[in-house]
Structure 1
C-alpha cells in the first residue's frame, strides 16, 4: 500500500499526507500483522496525533503480542510517566525488563535506574548494576556510564572499585559519553583506578571538551534554525 508523493510545503497536501501515512501504518499493523508497522503506528499516534492513550495501547499490545522490544521500552516509559495510562512503577519495570530480554538495550538501562532508585521496593544496587553491565556489554554508552558511577561511589552490595570504574568509564567514553571522558581524565590525573598519567589525562580532557563543543554547536544551530 504505497503513499503517493506530496508537496509538503502545501498545507492541504501535508494534511492529506499525514492522513494517508496514518492509514498506511494501520494497514501494516492490523492487515499485514507487522510488529514494525504497529510500532510506527504508535509513534504516529504519539508524535503526530498526540493521542497518548491510543499510543499506549498500541505500544503495550505490540509488546505483549508481538514481543517487539522497542514497544516494550516505550510502554515502560508511559507507565513511568503516567502518560496515556495509569502510572505504575512495578509495571514499568516489567516492561523495561522485557525490552532488555528482547535485546533492546535502553530497556536494560531503565530497568537498572528503577532498581537503583528504589522505585519498586527497596533499592537493589546489585540488580541495577547487573542491568547496567548488560547494556554496556551491548555497547549502550549510558549503561557503561551508570556502571562506572556505581563503582565510583560504592553502594550497598556494590563496593567501591576504582579499577572497574575506570574500565567502564573508558568504554563509555569510547562510545561517545563526554561525562565519562571527563571522569577518565580525572582518574588519570589523580591515579584513581589506573596509574597516574598527565599526558593521558590531558588527552581525555580534550576529548571531553571537543564533545561538549560539538553539542553546544549543534544546540546553537538548532536554535538558529528554529
Structure 2
C-alpha cells in the first residue's frame, strides 16, 4: 500500500508542476501581448506627432525641419512620410526639386494604400511632370484616390472629365449622397418631432456638420416639419434640384469651367 500511496502523491506533484509551467507560459504570453499593444500605441502616437510637426514646419516654411520629420516617418515605415517627401521633392521645398524622386516617393506611399499619394501621382501624369503626360493614367490614379475617400482626388477627377461627363458624374454622386442624407434626416426628424421647432434644430445640425450654403431657402416658408418625413425630404430635394442644397452634395461648382484643368496636390 505504501508504494502505491507514494506513487499517487508523486503523480499529483508532477501534475501540479506541469500546470504551473503552463500557467507561467500563459502569464508571459499575456504580458508579451500587452507589451506589444503598448508598443504599437506608442509607435502610432509618435508617428502622429512626427506628422503634425512635419506639416507645421512646412506650413511655417521651415522646410529643413519639415524634411527631417518626414524622414522620421519613413524610418517608421509610415506611408505619410513617403508621401510627404514626395511633396517636398515635387515642389523643391528643403531639397532640390526632382520630379523623378517625387514620383518614387509617391508611388511607395500609394503602394501602401495612401489615398493622397494616388492623387499626387495623378497630378504628375496629368501635367506630365517627371513622366510623359498620360490623361488615362491620371484618371486611374484620381479615381483610386477618390474611391479611397480622398476629396481632392474626386475634385481632380471631375476637373479632368469633359463637361458633359462631369455633369453626369455630379448627378450620380449627388443622387447617392442625397439618399444617405435622406436617411439621416429622417432619423433626425423622428428624434426631434416632438420639439416645437425641429426645423431650427435640424438646420443647426446640418449647418455645423455639412456646411449648407443656404438652408433657409430650402425651408423658405418656415413651417416646422411636424414629423412629416416625406414632406420634409421633398422640400430638401426641391432645394437640392434648384441648387441651394448643401455644398458637399454639389460636387461641381456652378462655374464648372473654373475647375476644368485646375488640379491640386496634397500631402494629406
Shorter-chain TM-score bucket reads 0.5 to 0.7
Local SS of the residue matching 1:207: coil
- For residue 101 of structure 2, the aligned residue among 91, 97, 114 is 91
Whole-angstrom CA distance in 2 between matches of 1:96 and 1:105 = 10
CA distance 1:205–1:105, shift in 2 (3 Å)? same
- For residue 39 of structure 1, the aligned residue among 51, 62, 66 is 51
Check the 8 A contact 1:145/1:169 in 2, yes or no.
Answer: no
CA RMSD of aligned residues (A): 4.0
Local SS of the residue matching 1:147: helix
Partner of 2:204: none
Partner of 2:3: none
Query: Are positions 1:131 and 2:144 aligned together?
Result: no
- For residue 104 of structure 1, the aligned residue among 114, 121, 125 is 114
CA distance 1:151–1:171, shift in 2 (3 Å)? farther
Check the 8 A contact 1:148/1:168 in 2, yes or no.
Answer: no
- For residue 241 of structure 2, the aligned residue among 172, 191, 203 is 203
| CA drift at 1:109 | 1.2
TM-score (norm 2): 0.46
- Superimposed CA distance per residue, residues 126-166 of structure 1 (whole angstroms, 9 cap, x where no aligned partner): 11111111111112222222223333259xxxxx6864565
- The alignment of Structure 1 onto Structure 2 pairs a total of residues equal to 155
Residue range with higher mean Cα deviation, 53-62 or 119-128: 53-62
Whole-angstrom CA distance in 2 between matches of 1:149 and 1:56 = 31
Check the 8 A contact 2:121/2:141 in 1, yes or no.
Answer: yes
Local SS of the residue matching 1:206: coil
Structure 2 portions without partners, runs of 5+? 1-41, 182-209, 213-236, 251-268
Structure 1 portions without partners, runs of 5+? 1-30, 155-159, 179-198, 213-226
| CA drift at 1:117 | 0.7
| CA drift at 1:40 | 3.7
TM-score (norm 1): 0.53
Whole-angstrom CA distance in 1 between matches of 2:147 and 2:177 = 11
Structure of greater Rg: 2
Whole-angstrom CA distance in 2 between matches of 1:82 and 1:120 = 13
- Superimposed CA distance per residue, residues 97-143 of structure 1 (whole angstroms, 9 cap, x where no aligned partner): 22233233222111111111111222111111111111111122222
- Superimposed CA distance per residue, residues 9-52 of structure 1 (whole angstroms, 9 cap, x where no aligned partner): xxxxxxxxxxxxxxxxxxxxxx979433433443454456x531
Choose between structure 1 and 2 for higher RCO, CA contacts under 8 A separated by at least 6 residues: 2
Whole-angstrom CA distance in 2 between matches of 1:118 and 1:170 = 34
